[in-house]
């Protein structure tokens, strides 16, 4: 898909990867970009940059875990700015914590944003795309959606789930002329991972690299866009030598002894 003249809705657009995708779409002359996240002030800043690059920006401050508000806002956005050609489900949260110290509220918040929030937005937009018989949906998973790692169990679970969800939708929505793609970045330098204990030898990529890889991937009808050499290597390793890869992941994992985890942040 070429972006020129298209309308896109991007969740998680206030920061990090979603913000970089919004700016890259503006560079690609996307006509309208609907920006979704909770922080209206940050969204307004992104909107100003998008408009300076020549695209129209629409700010939609929303908490994706509030299904009724999302329902009303999407109906309104579609009526006033639709049809939406491209939905990028990028909003997400993660808690890095050793499993034995994990707490139910963390898991619940990851599930409500990464899965239920994504489901809510996808259902609302896909039904309208189906009526128009055109559209493209991109769900942001992760390298951790292919290869799970210690301290990331519940986050990995949501990202694995996004892959399954996307695979099912890809077949189911194809007769409606709606494409579904999954984006799988490796560790990316954003707010999300700033306080993480990183895996040894893992080099972060930039949100801009992820955004450029997405634009390139959208030009081909590929089911999965792998971003970063580490994702390519891990996916290949998982296919060819899963036991060896599991050992490597274990070996490179951050070691959590006594109070190494920043519990203040996650509890
Ligand atoms: N960083 C990485 O290493 C990495 C690697 C692979 C995949 N990913 C995935 O990439 C996506 C973006 O991550 P990021 O690294 O850019 O993280 P980030 O910098 O923390 O940004 C997360 C975005 O999601 C929005 N968001 C969070 N909860 C929300 C909610 N309830 N309702 C609406 N918006 C919400 C945030 O905006 P507000 O706070 O303003 O709501 C923000 O715009 C996530 O799905 C993540 O899992 C990240």
The parent domain of residue 124 ranges over 7-266
Q: What is the CATH number of the domain that holds 209?
A: 3.40.50.720
With pLDDT > 70 as the criterion, what percentage of the chain qualifies?
94
Q: What is the DSSP string of the chain?
A: ---BT-EEEEETTTSHHHHHHHHHHHHTTBSEEEEEES-HHHHHHHHHHHHHTT-EEEEEE--TT-HHHHHHHHHHHHHHH----EEEE---------GGG--HHHHHHHIIIIIIIHHHHHHHHHHHHHHHT-EEEEEE--GGGTS--TT-HHHHHHHHHHHHHHHHHHHHHGGGTEEEEEEEE-SB-SGGGTTS-PPTTPPPB-HHHHHHHHHHHHTTT-SEEEESHHHHHHHHHHHH-HHHHHHHHHHHSPP--TT-S-HHHH-
170 ligand 1 Cβ < 6 A: no
The verdict on the CB of residue 16 being under 6 Å from ligand 1 is yes
Mean confidence (pLDDT) of the chain? 91
pLDDT in the model for residue 258? 42
pTM for the full predicted model = 0.93
155 is catalytic: yes
| 265 confidence band (pLDDT: 50, 70, 90) | low
Provide mean pLDDT across the span 94-108: 92
Domain annotation covers residue 1: no
Please report the pLDDT score of residue 266 as a whole number: 46
Q: What is the mean pLDDT of residues 165-191?
A: 96
Structural domain count, the chain: 1
pLDDT, one tens digit per residue, over 9-51 is: 999 999 999 999 999 999 999 999 999 999 999 999 999 999 9
Atom number of ligand 1 nearest to Cα 11 = 34
pLDDT by residue (tens digit) across 45-91? 999 999 999 999 999 999 999 999 999 999 999 999 989 999 999 99
């Amino acid at each position: 898909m070429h972006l020129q003249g298209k309308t896109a809705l991007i969740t998680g657009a206030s920061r990090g990867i979603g913000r970089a995708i919004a700016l890259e779409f503006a560079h690609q002359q996307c006509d309208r970009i609907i920006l979704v996240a909770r922080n209206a002030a940050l969204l307004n800043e992104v909107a100003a940059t998008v408009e300076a690059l020549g695209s129209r920006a629409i700010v939609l401050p929303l908490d994706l875990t509030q299904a009724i508000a999302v329902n009303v806002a999407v109906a309104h956005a579609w009526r006033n700015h639709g049809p939406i050609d491209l939905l990028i489900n990028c909003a997400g949260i993660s808690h890095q914590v050793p499993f034995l110290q994990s707490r139910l509220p963390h898991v619940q918040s990851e599930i409500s944003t990464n899965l239920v929030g994504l489901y809510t937005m996808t259902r609302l937009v896909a039904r309208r795309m189906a009526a128009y018989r055109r559209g493209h949906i991109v769900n942001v998973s992760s390298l951790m959606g292919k290869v799970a790692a210690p301290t990331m169990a519940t986050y990995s679970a949501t990202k694995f789930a996004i892959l399954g969800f996307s695979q099912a939708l890809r077949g189911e929505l194809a007769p409606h002329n709606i494409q579904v793609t999954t984006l799988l970045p490796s560790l990316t330098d954003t707010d999300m991972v700033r306080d993480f204990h990183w895996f040894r030898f893992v080099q972060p990529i930039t949100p801009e690299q992820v955004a450029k890889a997405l634009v390139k991937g959208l030009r081909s009808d590929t089911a999965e866009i792998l971003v970063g050499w580490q994702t390519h290597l891990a996916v290949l390793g998982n296919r060819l030598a899963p036991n060896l890869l599991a050992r490597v992941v274990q070996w490179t994992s951050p070691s959590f002894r006594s109070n190494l985890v920043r519990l203040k942040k996650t509890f």
